[in-house]
Amino acid sequence: MSQQISINYPESLAFSLKMNSDEFKKEMKTVSLVKLYEIGKISSGQASKILNIKRIDFLELLNKYNVSYYHKGMEDEIENDFANA
């Protein structure tokens, strides 16, 4: 089951970022998930699944947003990775 979030924004915002509507929507989704990952609220696996990309691709994407792969609370995620390897 999935949910949808609606955000109102001025047309000029996407335009100022040189993005069309679809690009802007994708960017907002990606940025939100990157931030949730950065603050330790979701795992890289969760984020990659929502974005429909490989986990390694999500981890590489973090660099674009200057977000480190390592974050507080990451110990649990690393232990889970080892357990599932």
State pLDDT tens for residues 40-56. 999 999 999 999 999 99
Whole-Å CA distances, 6 to 12, 25, 29: 17, 10, 11
pLDDT tens across the length of the chain (85 residues): 889 989 999 989 999 999 999 999 999 999 999 999 999 999 999 999 999 999 999 999 999 999 998 766 666 666 776 777 6
What pLDDT score does 2 carry? 85
Side chain identity at 38, as an amino acid letter? E
Residue 71: the pLDDT is 64
